[in-house]
Every structure is written in structure tokens, then in C-alpha cells.
Structure 1
Amino acid sequence: MSGSSVSSKLLGPIKLSEQVIERVLFHKRLPVLVLFVLMTLWLGFQAVQIRPDASFVKMIPTQHPYVENYLRYRDDLSGLGNSLRVVVEAKQGDIFSAEYQNTLKQVTDEAFFISGVDRSALKSIWTPNVRWTEVTEEGFVGGPVIPPEYDGSADSLAQIRTNILRSGQVGILVANDFKSAIIQMPLFDKDPETGEKLNYQAFSEKVEKLIRQKYESDQIGIRITGFAKIVGDLIEGAKSVALFFAIAIGVTLVLLYLYSGSITGTLIPLTCSLVAVIWQMGILKALGYGLDPYSMLVPFLVFAIGVSHGVQVVNTVRLEQAEGADSWLAARRAFRAIYIPGLTALLSDGLGFVTLMVIEIQVIQDLAVAASIGVAVIILTNLLLLPLLMSYVGVGQKAIVKMRASQDKPTSLWMPLTVFARPSGAVIAVVFALVALGLGLYGSQNLKIGDLDKGAPELRADSRYNLDNAFVTANYSTSSDIFVVMATTPEEQCTRFETLSMVDRFQHYLTSVPGVQNSVSLVDVSKRVTSGLNEGNLKWRSVSRNQFVINASLSYVPSGFMNGSCSLLPVIIFLDDHKAETLQGVSSAVARFAGEHNSESLTFEMAAGNSGFEAATNEVIATAQYEMLAWVYGVVSILCLLTFRSIKTVICIIAPLALTSVLCQALMAHLGIGVKVATLPVIALGVGIGVDYGIYIYSRLSTYLVQGKSLPDAYLATLKTTGSSVAFTGLTLAIGVVLWVMSPIKFQADMGILLTFMFLWNMLGALILLPALACLLHKRETVQAREKSDAV
């Protein structure tokens, strides 16, 4: 087998670095250890200062045409980007009481003064930009919904009811059943007081404290929806992430001791893995990064990768000490044996995570940076620091005795697995893998892009946020899922008959698009006023061909329906939900209409609104997911090829990972988990962790083959050493993450299911499919195995 050509010229620099580092590491132990301690103290000081970091712009693909269009007109689309909606509910009676109106006014004032709110665009029936209009014998009259003379009397409340009915805000700012009202709070991306990015954790806490906690009572209910609240709830849920992280560490501690039989062999790899997490967090802080809700799980993944490599080092030290070496020599030999396969595996991990950078969404790119830094520091903490510490203390006599006993047994619990290193068993394993691949490909056909649930799928269906969102959907005519199409014209042309007529035609076209509730635009304002100017006759409720009539109908236009230069006319579309198929259908329908009717004088451009941004995100992910997979598998394959110098070996290592990826996609489709910002990185992360298993097993296997052992014997020896540590690592990490299914954050629960699946299947692939492929692809070893079997 052409296995491990570590003497290859291509690996010369790596081999040279191994020799140099080995001499420095084991002959200058104390200075190196002091350096590690000082670095840990400094980076630990940095790590404790890291803060959650979330941004609306980071969550959307800023280079996608939809978002570029939005950013071009952002100043003219106030309130159609990132906003929060606060619902003030009258639990008893309706909103037409002095007590309720007083509370609504106070909440509106409170919202107005919260830093980060775009006060000029804030809307409530208590703000002067929400007005009513009426046609009288003298023409149009109107005013603010809350009259200046309001005094809380019965007459004033009756006047408010009349004004609300005349304002057109029923179903928008006022519930259809008149039992609640909304305060719409558009948000800035940067805090206007500090000039820094809006701190969503602090903002969410402020809204909770100043509004919900202050005003919610037996008579008043407060409900809050919007991106900022989702992020705030996710950050609040980070406490549960920390709790499950601690549980995973505890589980790993217990199982590692039971496996190694050594206190030092348990505490030192765990300590080094935690040091890697500290270094990662410290470096991120030093580089100016924070932790957003979607990268909160990266520290655990760094810990998991660290444990995976740490177990290999400790296992090799145990083996060397069982053969008579002292702790210093055993640690040195372990470093020598682990360095190249460990470095290859970690480089594969790190470069695999870097491939996430092809997805042009900043939150995923930040996750790629965080994961890559974490893997880079593991090279230092687990490949260098861990052997250094083990050289002082070793694994202890109990662990040595346990290792000798397992090696001296004439039979082994691992013996049944050697059947997969023989031709008959190998064929069975490969056939089973091909069947599983077929089932996986069939099941993954139903995999969807984007959200598959209403509300915020990152949170549980019974979470407070999703209950609040369900309340808004049930009681208001306009949903919280808004898709905005920007109709653009040359300056001062947006009110021309030809423009309004085409927009009116577009809105009529939207009524036949599945998932669309309704739409509003400047056309609706013109129609309503034109009808009012003609005694409310419905025959006049249309776009007039007379430009003077149109001009008269638009003498007063509510904010948000056109820009100051009359070159932008937003069409606000309210959708049933933001599911992937809904957004795809709407986007396709708008694109068809735009393709047929766009001209130099009028262009329909997508898209703003939360659903518009999500549609753009879905398109980016749909394109990038396969590009990302191609990059991650390409990078890992090249590194394995450079290390082992054999295409057959690359197939042996990569094929189990590919099978796991396909089966994971089928599992996602079965569980109703869509491919989105939160879940897409898991595929790359799973490949990054899984490749470690294959590289370590194959490296050890090739070592025994070079010694002249047959493939079954070499594989049995591999299973007793590296194989046992791979099985232990896979089971331990799976047990650690499977507990996440109990998390109050659905996003974390989904990650727990997917990572558990990938940990276990990557482990089984490395232990079963890898030797089977090696048996079938390397004929010489297969012949040796058959001859030895016949001799027995």
C-alpha cells in the first residue's frame, strides 16, 4: 500500500518542522511552558471581555442584487428594513378606554426615547404622522388620529374610534377586534448616541425593562416582535448554551477517565481543549470580533475537536509507556507519531471551515473566522502543549496496566470488526453503504432552502416570541412578513398616469400569486382620494387618466409611499408566511412581471422588507451550499493526497464523510429542518470533525502494514489503539451534544440532533467503511488476507 509517504518532497517542510519543534519542545520544556502560561493569561483576559455581537446587516447577503437595491434606497425606505413592533393589548374590554389610551401613550413615549429607534419614522395612533382623512361638502378634511383636544372623556374616546375608522389603520396599527394596538419602531443599524453598532442584547433588555416589565399587568398585555427581539432572545438563551457546554465537559470528564484509567490522562486533554477555547475567544476579541447568536456553538466545536485530538495523544502515550518508555520518552514518541497526521487533520479542519467564506453572508463568514482560529490554536494547545504536559506526569501506573492487559488479550472485542477488512465483509459493507447512499439521495430530494415554520424557527413554537407573533398574525390584517418591491422612475415621474397604471396592474397581478395576502402602494392612496373627491363613488376608485386629478389626489401622501424626488414608489406586499416555497413563488412571480414590463421609464426592483431579505438569503444559500461542499471536500482531499500520496487512500478517507453528508441532508429533510444561515455551516463543521477519524485510523493502519502485517491483522492492531480512541471520541461527543435536544432554543436543539448524527456516522464510517474500501481498493493486501485466512 502506498500509504504514508511522509518522506515525500512535498512533505519535507512539514517533516523538518516536526524535527525542529520536537527538539525545542522537549529540550526547552520549562521556557516553552512558561510562554504557554503567559499567553493563556493574556488571552484569558481578552476572552472575558468578549461580548455578543449581532447586526441586521450581518444577517443578510449585502452583495445580493436584492439587498444592493435596498441599500441604494435605504434612506427612502424608512420603516421597511429592520423594525420592532410592540403590541399593547387590552385584556379586558377594548382600546377605547381612558386607562388603555393613557397606557398606549406612555408606551409610545417610552419607545420614542429608546436609543437606536428611528424617531422620525416611529408610528402609533398617538404619533402625529398617523392621520385620518374624510371627504365633506367642503372637500377633504383630516388631522391626527388623537385629536388635540383629547381629554379622556367618553366623547373624546368616541372621536378616537371615528378617527381610527377614517384613518385606514384598522388591521395595520389597530387590531381588527379593537382589543390591541401596535407601536411600530424602525431601528437604526448604529446607535445614534454612540455611533457604534446597535447592541441587540442591550436593546432587547431595555425594551423588556422599559416596556414589557413596566407596563404589563392584569389589564394590559405586551407583545413584541421583530428581528431585534429574536436576536435578544437568542442571546438570552446563550445561558442554556453555557449550561449544556458545562454538562458536555462533565460527561467527557467521566467517560475519559473510565476509558483511560488515568487522572492526568483525563484532566490534561480536557484542560488543553479548554485552553484552546480560551485562546480562540481571546484572539477573536483582540481582532475586534464578538460572538453572534449563530456562532455561540463554535466554542463547543473547538472543544470537541480538541478532545478528539487530545484522546489520540493520550492513547499513544499510554501505548508507549505500556511498552516500557518513561513519561518523557513516551510523550516525545507520541508527538512524533501524532504530529503529521494530526497536523494534516487540523489543517483539513481549518481550511474546510475557511471554505464557508464563499457564502457572502457576513454572519457565516464570521463563523468561518471563529472556527478557523479555533482549529489553528488547537495545533498549539493539543499537538504541542498536551505532549509537553504529559512528558512531566505521564498517564500513571493504573492506565499502563490497563493498556498492557488490552494488548495481551489473545482475543479482542474488536475482533468482529476485522471482518470488514476481509473481501466478503468488505463487499457487504460497501453494498450497505451504496444502499444507504441511494436512500440518502432519495430522501434529500425533499430538502428545502430557508425556513419551513412560521414565526422564528430558531425558537421553540411555544416560545414567548412565537406566541407573540402568532397573536399579531391572528388579530391583524397585515402580517409581519413583508416583501417590498421598489418601482423606480426618473425623477419627478413616479406620479405619472403611465407609472401608476402599471403599478396598479402589478398589484392586481399579485392577487393571483399564492402566499400573497394583499399589497399597498401610492396607487391605493390616489384611488382612495380620487373616490373621495367624487362623493365616495366607487366608480371613481381607480387611477384617473387626467394628470391634474392624479396630482390633486396626491396633494398629501403619507410617509413611506414615495421619496422626496418622486423617483421611488415602494409596493409593500404582505405575505401569509416566510416559508421557502412562499418566498420563491413570490420572487419568481415578480421577476416574470418585471421581465415583461420593465422599461426606461419604470423598473420593478426587488426587494426590501424582512421577507425580501430572506428571499435573497435563500437564493445565496441555494447557490453556495454546493459550492461550499465542493470546496470543503476538495481542500480535504488535496491535503489527504499530499499526506498519503495515494488517490485510493483519499477515497478511503473521504467516502465515509460524503455518505454522512448525504444522510445528514436526508435527515434534515425528514425532520423538517431547512438549509439556512443557522444550519448550513453544520455540514462543513461535521466534515471537519469527521476527517480526523479517518486520517488517524488510516495513518495507524498504514504503519502496521509497512511492518508486514496483513490487512486484517493490521486493522485489528489499529482498532486496539487508534480505533478504540476514535470510537470513544465519537460516542463521548455524541452523548455530550444529544442533550441539546432539551434546549429552549430550537436552533440549538436542531444542531444537537444533526451533530449527534454526524459524530456517530463519521465514527462508524471510519471504523467500518474505511477498512472495507481499503480491502477492495488495495488488492495486494486483500490477497495477503485471503492467504492467511486459508492457512488458518
Structure 2
Amino acid sequence: MHGKMDLLCAYIVRRKVAVLLLVLLITAAAAVGIVRMKNEVILQHLFPYDHAYLRLHARFAEVFGGGGTGLAIAVKVKEGDIFNEQTLTKIKNITEEIELWDEVYRSLTISMATNSTKVIKAKAKGEIQIEALMYPDPPKSEQEMALLKRNIFSNPMYNGGIVSEDGKAALILTEMKENIPYEQIFKKLKDLTTKYEDANTSVHIVGFPMLMGYIYSYKYQMIAVFAISVLCMVIILFISFRNLVGMIAPIAVSVICTALGLGFIGWSRINFSPLLYVLAFLVGARMVSNAVQITHRYIEEFARTGDKERATYHTVRAMWMPNIMAATTEMAGFMVLGIAKIVLMQQLAVIMGFWMATIALEGPLVPIICSYLPLNRDKLRVKEAGKGPIARASEGLARISVGYAGKRFVIAAVTLIVLGGSWQMMQLKVGDLTPGSPILRDYHRYNKDQAVINGTFNASSENLTLYYEGSQDSVYDPVVMTTFEQFDQHLARTLPDIYKTSTSIIGFGKMLNTTLHDGDPLYYQLPRQEDTLAGLLGFVRQTVGSANLMRYIDNTVERANITIYVADHTTDNLKRIREAAYGFFKDRPMKTSRGQFYLAGGRIGMEMALNQEMKEVHWRIDAMVLVAIFIMCVIAFRSVVAGVMLTAPLILSNMIAFSYMSVMNIGLSVNTLPCSAVGVGVGVDFAIYLYSRCREEYPNSKDYKSTVLTAARTTGEAIIFTGITLVIPLLAWYFMAGLKFQAEMGFFLSMLLLTNMISCMTIHPLMLLLIKPKFIAKDALDIDDAVVKAPEVAT
């Protein structure tokens, strides 16, 4: 095996010009695909496509409309109330503008100014009329204004719903279509805010389209943060190496790998969601990390031999296999994300898996590029490996960890991490843990607007839908309407702190029944006789118009729904809503003689499905990442012991990561799960390079302690350089990033890298010395001996 590898490495070094040109040619072809990249947030890609709730939502969306992208727009005044011509005209104009947008389901738009918002009036001679509440124009006279107030505040459907109970705010609810351009709709919504806000009027907008718009708005700020981070890396590399080789080679190779990765995304036409930008930078950072390790080794070899060709060969021969192992293990960390039945995760597995695979090219490319850059041997800060202060510090840390007191300290620390981490991991929750959006900072306008709407109205952009489907005209069955009504009352009683209101055809039926009984509030209920109920609802459908009622009931009267509005979709509240909803049917059949009820639709149903999928899959993903790393390490070192030794410390890192998320109240989501899963294997390459160096050093001393300390002194220096190069730029996100998610993930990943760096200098040396694994001695590789056996590498 060694002989064949020696020949291959020698051949690559002899043909390094051809190798470099071939890679650059392939990179140029791939880079053309970058302009073909799609950067969109696609709603269906964020949720488990195979979940029963999502299939249910899709089936009934074809009947009632709605894409799970609700939008709530509040118009609020500071002084007085909204019942004046100027404010009501604003509400009317906003409603009309929105209804004309191509991205909106017009029939699902509700406000006091829509034609579908009705009031029932009793006229002379027993005539009943159903008229629009405030359509087509606001009232002009004081009498009309007083009548509008009475019609709103005397109606439970409208009081607190589309108008706040204090009369100082009005609400416009609508549903956006699927796969809309969020940047475009965000601009329209921001223009709406600018146009209608004034000194006394504020406009507050929440909902998924607005949230995605805000995230899109940070795109260039995120790129600026990434650019500053890259600049920080360059500066740190220059300070660390004090030469062009150490600064240019890692960045140049990372640019090549990045071009290959982004080009693959463009040519494959796989959507590259803006939600993945943070992960893209992580991949780029890992490329720099691996390249720094290899560059450090090249400089070490050049300082030792003074010959660029021999230094290139030494580095390729020593670092290529560890580099391939590191790339393979990290690629596995992304590939296992594909087991989640979420399109975004599956796309992530493919594109990031390929991108990570390009790191394997760094083994030969970095030394080749280094060989073409000027490097003065006499001016190198460290002419021999292990003579600098950082090298001595890394050796000192390893020496302490294997000493009498240090050994006990490390074991005690590991024990505490296992005990504390195990408990904290059990506290980790799935989903969003706070109202508003955890992606944005608490003081962001979106989260403030969410708080305003929740505190002002009995409605929101978060809704749960109960569907009914049966035979033709079966909706007239009193059991259907009674079940809807009792379901609504059950949730209001069970969830008083988060229940807002409900909408269905029941409200129109109750209004009509009350009017038929001279406005007596005792009759604000539905008839229990089927023929009476059918007549009542038939009159409503005929008068209001079936088009205006399509969001509640279909044309054949086979399907109907009731929508419950709640305050938010936080993890704890989703659990409560689900328990309350299914608790209602615990003693009631979901099937009737003519049809069946179905849970759970709406945005809440979609979030429930997502949380269930994440809860079921995240442990499997973490376990599979560890298993994949274990298998790769076993294959690479041809030792089960090596697999165990390299994988076990990663479990500790995982515990620390999940403990941090638990303490900081960060839930597992589509955004955070990939970071946490990839974070499991972030530091495995550190240990791989350490173990590989041990195999090289063992023939020189035949002593495990000397071997481990020498490896810690030499490779440890590169590990610390690498760690600093990544930790500081990532940590800077916490202070620079506008997105809370980006800031938290920057701190999270820097903490993981620092943890793995310390683990590599403490836990791994201790394990190597205690276990004295045979694979270190059995497959020991003497690089100098390999050079003798290999053909000449000079070109």
C-alpha cells in the first residue's frame, strides 16, 4: 500500500504543472455555473413533504385556498381612534392594494373594508338584508360612522378581531400564494408601510412572507460579514506565518474548492436557499482549516530540507491520506442529513456533501501551490518543527494532561461533561422557543410588530384548521356545525392564554339567527334541526355569495372548515394545542354517519409536522454522523480501536453543543440542525492529523510518550494556528451579524472548534498514552524512508 502511494505522490509532484492546470481548467468550467445558481426560499422545501399534516394541507388548499403563508397587517393610531375618514380611507386603500397583488389569494383577504365582511340587517316588513360592513367606501356622516361602530362592537366576530376592542387599530388578514418571490413581496409591503404611516398612524406587518423578506434584506449584510471574516482570516494567517505562502496558499485553494462547490450548485440547478448561507461559510472555513494544516506542514518540510520539490513530495505523501479522511468524515456529516424527509435538508446533503468532497483535492494542491510561491528559508520564524512558543505551549498542554495530576483533572472534567451534558441534552427542545422569530434579534421590528399585534387583537397570522369532508350537502348536518362550534369553545377554554378567535361559516349563521329573532343575543347560536340549519346556511350562501364563502365551505357543501387563531407557534404552545385538539376528539368520533373530520391544517399544522419530523430524525442524524465517522476512521487506520478513539471525544463535543443550545434557549430547527449535526464532526480532522503524525513519529523513538508529545508539539502548533484562524472570525459574528441566528451560530461554531482544539491537545494524548493502540506502531510510516523508496520527484 505504501509503495503504491509513494509512486502516486511522486508522479503527482513530477507532473504538478499538468495537475494544477487540469484543476484550474475544471474549476473555470465549474465557475461558469455560478451565474446559474437559484437563491430562493421555497415554502414546501422547509417542511416534511411526506407528513400526514402536509398532505392534508395540500389537499384542502386546492379547495379553500391558502398556502400556509398568512400575513397580518395592523393599522394603529396613537391619538383618538380609527373611526375617522382619513384612517378608514387608509384601511380601505391598503385592503384594495393588497387584493390586486398577483401574489395574494383575494378571496382569503379579510378586513373591515372587504366585500366579504358582512353585516346582517332587519328591514321593514320582515325583510332581511346582508350587506358589506364598510364596502365600497368608508362612512361619510357622523350617523354612518356611529352605525359602523355599533355593527363592529356588537358583533363578536369583529370586535377584537378585525378591529381592536379599544377602537384604536384595525387588522387586515390575507394569504399569500405558494412559491412567491419574497424579495419582491417584501418591497411591496415596505412600500405599503412607508406610504401609509404618518405621525399618528403606524403599520405593523407579520407573517411568513414578511419574515422571509427581512431575512432576504440581510443578504448583503451577511455577505459583508463573511467578507470581513475572510479578511480577518487573511490577517491572522499573515500574523501566524509571516510569509506569503502561509497567507496565499490556504486562501487560493479555498477559492478553488469554493468555485467547484458553487459551480456544482449552479450546474445542478439545485436551489441554494439564503437560509444556507451560514453553512456555506462554514464549509469555506473548513477548507481554510484543512489548507492551513497542510501549509504548515509544507513550511515545516521546507525548513527542514531547503528543497521545494522534496518539501512538496513530503507534504503530499504525509498529508494526502489524512486530508482525504478528514474530507470524507465531514462529507458524511452532511450526507446523513438526507434521511430527513425535508427537501431543504436533502438538497443540503447533496450540495454540501459534494462541496466538502472537494477538500480532498487540498492534499496535493496546497503543496503544489506553495512550491510556486516565494519562501526564504533563512527568514522562516521556525526553521524546525516544534521550536516556537505555540508549539511549546501545545506540547506543554499535552504533557500536563498525561501527567499524574493532569490525568485526573481531564478524567474528572470528562465525567462532569458527560453527567451535565446528558442532563442538559434531555432539556433540549425542538422548534421555536420564543414568540416572533428566533432568526431575528429580540429588538427587531418584526418581533416588535408581532408583540403589538398579539397584544392588540384576537387574531394573528398563526392558525390551526379543522377540516370536514363528507357526502354532498353533508355540511348541513347539525353534527358538523356543532362539532366545529364545540371544538372552538374547547380550545378557547383549554388555551385561554394563547387562543385568539376563530373564523367559519358559523359566525354568519349565528348573526342571521340573531337577526331573525329581533336581535336577541340569546339566539346567537345555530339551530339544531337539520332542515332549519340547511335553510339558514343556504340563505347565507345565497345572499353573501358562494365566492365570498369559499374559504369556509365548498360549492357542493361537501367540505367545510373552521380556523382557530392562536398567539404563536412556540414549541410548548404547539404541544399544548395538539393535546387540546386531539383531546377534544378523545371522547368524540372523528367520523360521522356522512363524513369525517381531519386535523391538523393551517400554519400550526405545518409547524407541528416540522417539529415531529425534527424530533424523530435529529437523534438518528447525530447517531449516523458518529457511525459514519467511526466507519471512515476504521477504514482509514484499519483499526476498530482507532474508530472508537476518534469518535468517542466527538460525543463529548456533541454534549457540549446541545448543552449550549439548551442553556441559551436555542431550539433545534431546519436552520440549527445542520449546524449542530456538522458541528459533531468539526474537530475530527484535528485528531486525524494528530494520529497520522503519531504514526510518522513512532519509528523515530519507538516510545508512545515521546511520540505523542512530539506529535502534539508539531501538529499541535498547526492545530492551534488553524483553530485561531477560524475561531476569531466566527466569534466576530456575535458582534457584527444583524441576524440573531447568524450571531448565535457564529458563537456556537467557534465554541465547538475551541472545544475540539482543546480536546485534541488533552483528551487524545491521554487516550493514546493510556491505550497505546497498536495501529500507531503497526502501520507506522517513515516519510524519509518512503522518499528513498520513491522515484525521484524532481521535474
Same fold (TM over 0.5): yes
Q: 1:219-251, CA deviations, whole angstroms, 9 ceiling, x for partnerless residues?
A: 432221110111111121122322221222122
Please identify, of 324-333 and 591-600, the stretch whose mean Cα deviation from structure 2 is larger.
591-600
Question: Match of 2:632?
Answer: 639
The residue type paired with residue 463 of structure 1 is: H
Question: Which of 161, 179, 184 matches 2:149?
Answer: 161
Q: CA deviation at 1:398?
A: 5.2
Q: Whole-Å Cα distance in 1 between the matches of residues 324 and 83 of structure 2?
A: 70
Question: Match of 2:134?
Answer: 146
Question: Match of 2:793?
Answer: none
Q: 1:353-407, CA deviations, whole angstroms, 9 ceiling, x for partnerless residues?
A: 0111112222222332332122122223x23332221122264325645232744
Structure 1 residues 123 and 712: CA distance shift in structure 2, 3 A: same
Provide the secondary structure at the position in 2 that maps to 1:81: coil
Question: Match of 1:176?
Answer: 165
The residue type paired with residue 704 of structure 1 is: E
Question: Match of 1:657?
Answer: 650
Question: Which of 263, 268, 271 matches 2:244?
Answer: 263
Please identify, of 415-424 and 701-710, the stretch whose mean Cα deviation from structure 2 is larger.
415-424
Provide the secondary structure at the position in 1 that maps to 2:670: coil
Identity %: 24
Q: CA deviation at 1:765?
A: 1.4
Question: Residue 449 of structure 1 contacts residue 622 of structure 1 at CA under 8 Å; is this kept in 2?
Answer: yes
Q: Whole-Å Cα distance in 1 between the matches of residues 138 and 649 of structure 2?
A: 73
Q: CA deviation at 1:419?
A: 3.5
| Length-normalised TM-score, structure 2 | 0.90
Question: Match of 2:382?
Answer: 402
Structure 1 residues 570 and 19: CA distance shift in structure 2, 3 A: farther
Question: Match of 1:3?
Answer: none
Please give the residue correspondences for 1:186-225 in structure 2 after superposition, counting only pairs within 5 Å.
186-189=175-178, 197-209=179-191, 211-225=192-206
Is it true that 1:390 corresponds to 2:370 in the alignment?
Answer: yes
Question: Residue 291 of structure 2 contacts residue 366 of structure 2 at CA under 8 Å; is this kept in 1?
Answer: yes
Please give the residue correspondences for 1:266-665 in structure 2 after superposition, counting only pairs within 5 Å.
266-380=247-361, 382-393=362-373, 395-397=375-377, 400-404=380-384, 406-407=386-387, 412-413=392-393, 414-421=395-402, 425-514=406-495, 515-555=498-538, 556-557=540-541, 558-596=549-587, 597-599=589-591, 601=593, 602-665=595-658
Q: Whole-Å Cα distance in 2 between the matches of residues 408 and 457 of structure 1?
A: 44
Question: Match of 1:71?
Answer: 58
Question: Residue 382 of structure 2 contacts residue 388 of structure 2 at CA under 8 Å; is this kept in 1?
Answer: no
Question: Match of 1:786?
Answer: none
Provide the secondary structure at the position in 1 that maps to 2:131: strand
Question: Which of 61, 67, 71 matches 2:48?
Answer: 61
Give the unaligned 5+ runs of structure 1.
Answer: 1-5, 8-14, 190-196, 784-792
Q: CA deviation at 1:525?
A: 3.9
Structure 1 residues 501 and 55: CA distance shift in structure 2, 3 A: same
Q: CA deviation at 1:162?
A: 4.1
Q: CA deviation at 1:321?
A: 0.9
Structure 1 residues 688 and 411: CA distance shift in structure 2, 3 A: closer
Question: Which of 738, 745, 750 matches 1:744?
Answer: 738
Please identify, of 334-343 and 709-718, the stretch whose mean Cα deviation from structure 2 is larger.
709-718
Please give the residue correspondences for 1:18-167 in structure 2 after superposition, counting only pairs within 5 Å.
22=9, 25-48=12-35, 50-79=37-66, 81-136=68-123, 138-148=126-136, 152-165=140-153
Provide the secondary structure at the position in 2 that maps to 1:660: helix
Provide the secondary structure at the position in 1 that maps to 2:464: strand
Q: Whole-Å Cα distance in 1 between the matches of residues 101 and 182 of structure 2?
A: 12
Structure 1 residues 79 and 91: CA distance shift in structure 2, 3 A: farther
Question: Residue 426 of structure 1 contacts residue 776 of structure 1 at CA under 8 Å; is this kept in 2?
Answer: no
Q: CA deviation at 1:658?
A: 0.7
Q: CA deviation at 1:746?
A: 1.0
Structure 1 residues 303 and 425: CA distance shift in structure 2, 3 A: same
Question: Residue 711 of structure 1 contacts residue 781 of structure 1 at CA under 8 Å; is this kept in 2?
Answer: no
Q: Whole-Å Cα distance in 2 between the matches of residues 169 and 21 of structure 1?
A: 78
Q: Whole-Å Cα distance in 1 between the matches of residues 619 and 389 of structure 2?
A: 47
Q: Whole-Å Cα distance in 1 between the matches of residues 195 and 25 of structure 2?
A: 47
Question: Match of 1:728?
Answer: 721
Question: Residue 660 of structure 1 contacts residue 762 of structure 1 at CA under 8 Å; is this kept in 2?
Answer: yes
Q: CA deviation at 1:779?
A: 7.3
Q: 1:755-776, CA deviations, whole angstroms, 9 ceiling, x for partnerless residues?
A: 1211111111122111222222
Q: CA deviation at 1:736?
A: 1.0
Question: Residue 164 of structure 1 contacts residue 170 of structure 1 at CA under 8 Å; is this kept in 2?
Answer: yes
Question: Match of 1:11?
Answer: none
Question: Residue 53 of structure 1 contacts residue 290 of structure 1 at CA under 8 Å; is this kept in 2?
Answer: yes
Question: Residue 88 of structure 1 contacts residue 221 of structure 1 at CA under 8 Å; is this kept in 2?
Answer: yes
Q: CA deviation at 1:187?
A: 1.3
The CA RMSD measured in Å over matched residues stands at 2.7
Q: Whole-Å Cα distance in 2 between the matches of residues 728 and 411 of structure 1?
A: 10
Structure 1 residues 216 and 44: CA distance shift in structure 2, 3 A: farther
Structure 1 residues 728 and 481: CA distance shift in structure 2, 3 A: same
Q: CA deviation at 1:474?
A: 1.3
Q: CA deviation at 1:572?
A: 1.6
Please give the residue correspondences for 1:707-722 in structure 2 after superposition, counting only pairs within 5 Å.
707-722=700-715
Question: Residue 36 of structure 2 contacts residue 269 of structure 2 at CA under 8 Å; is this kept in 1?
Answer: no
Question: Residue 425 of structure 1 contacts residue 772 of structure 1 at CA under 8 Å; is this kept in 2?
Answer: no
Structure 1 residues 781 and 297: CA distance shift in structure 2, 3 A: closer
Question: Which of 751, 760, 763 matches 1:769?
Answer: 763
Q: Whole-Å Cα distance in 2 between the matches of residues 246 and 149 of structure 1?
A: 52
The residue type paired with residue 734 of structure 1 is: V
Q: CA deviation at 1:80?
A: 6.7
Provide the secondary structure at the position in 2 that maps to 1:511: helix
Q: CA deviation at 1:637?
A: 0.6
The residue type paired with residue 580 of structure 1 is: T
Structure 1 residues 470 and 416: CA distance shift in structure 2, 3 A: closer
Q: CA deviation at 1:25?
A: 3.4
Structure 1 residues 99 and 260: CA distance shift in structure 2, 3 A: same
Question: Residue 85 of structure 2 contacts residue 138 of structure 2 at CA under 8 Å; is this kept in 1?
Answer: no
Provide the secondary structure at the position in 2 that maps to 1:402: coil
Question: Residue 317 of structure 1 contacts residue 395 of structure 1 at CA under 8 Å; is this kept in 2?
Answer: no
Question: Residue 693 of structure 1 contacts residue 766 of structure 1 at CA under 8 Å; is this kept in 2?
Answer: yes
Q: Whole-Å Cα distance in 2 between the matches of residues 361 and 771 of structure 1?
A: 40
Q: CA deviation at 1:20?
A: 7.3
Question: Residue 391 of structure 2 contacts residue 716 of structure 2 at CA under 8 Å; is this kept in 1?
Answer: no
Structure 1 residues 698 and 363: CA distance shift in structure 2, 3 A: same
Q: CA deviation at 1:493?
A: 1.1
Question: Match of 2:219?
Answer: 238
Q: Whole-Å Cα distance in 2 between the matches of residues 147 and 669 of structure 1?
A: 51
Structure 1 residues 255 and 410: CA distance shift in structure 2, 3 A: closer
Q: Whole-Å Cα distance in 2 between the matches of residues 250 and 736 of structure 1?
A: 9
Provide the secondary structure at the position in 2 that maps to 1:581: helix
Q: Whole-Å Cα distance in 1 between the matches of residues 78 and 8 of structure 2?
A: 71
Q: CA deviation at 1:657?
A: 0.9
Question: Residue 441 of structure 1 contacts residue 662 of structure 1 at CA under 8 Å; is this kept in 2?
Answer: yes
Which aligned runs of 4 or more in structure 1 are off by greater than 6 angstroms? 408-411, 779-783
Provide the secondary structure at the position in 2 that maps to 1:393: coil
Aligned residues: 761
Q: Whole-Å Cα distance in 2 between the matches of residues 519 and 623 of structure 1?
A: 31
Provide the secondary structure at the position in 2 that maps to 1:452: coil
Q: CA deviation at 1:324?
A: 1.0
Structure 1 residues 399 and 126: CA distance shift in structure 2, 3 A: farther
| Length-normalised TM-score, structure 1 | 0.90
